[in-house]
Homo-oligomer: A and B are copies of this chain.
Amino acid sequence: MDTIILIGYMAGTLTTVSFLPQVIRSWKTKSTHDISFAMLALFGLGMLLWAIYGFWIESLPIILANVITFGLIIVLLAMKVRYK
């Protein structure tokens, strides 16, 4: 595998995995007060566009990372609405 493809996958893994501790923390504390709703909404929309960009330039790391991250952002948005 090319070095740069590996770096792309590492980057995608890190930015995707990074939202897991946030989901776990919010789930445990049932508190999302300090998290900005606008941040989650804008970031989620951005993830969708990055995924489209990834499909277009045929970059699998970009596609995978953004589709999975989008899912985690949806979970966080749901908790933000549920826990206030």
Contacts and interface: CB of A to CB of B under 8 A. Distances in A.
Given A7-B56, A42-B14, A56-B7, A21 B49 contact: no
Interface residues of A, number: 42
Interface in A32-54: 32-36, 38-43, 45-47, 49-50, 52-53
Contacts of A56: 4, 7
Instruction: Name the residue among A12, A38, A39, A59 with the largest chain B CB count within 10 angstroms.
Output: A39
A18 B34 contact: no
A47 B17 CA distance: 13
Interface of A: 4, 7-8, 10-19, 21-22, 24-26, 29, 31-36, 38-43, 45-47, 49-50, 52-53, 56-57, 59, 61
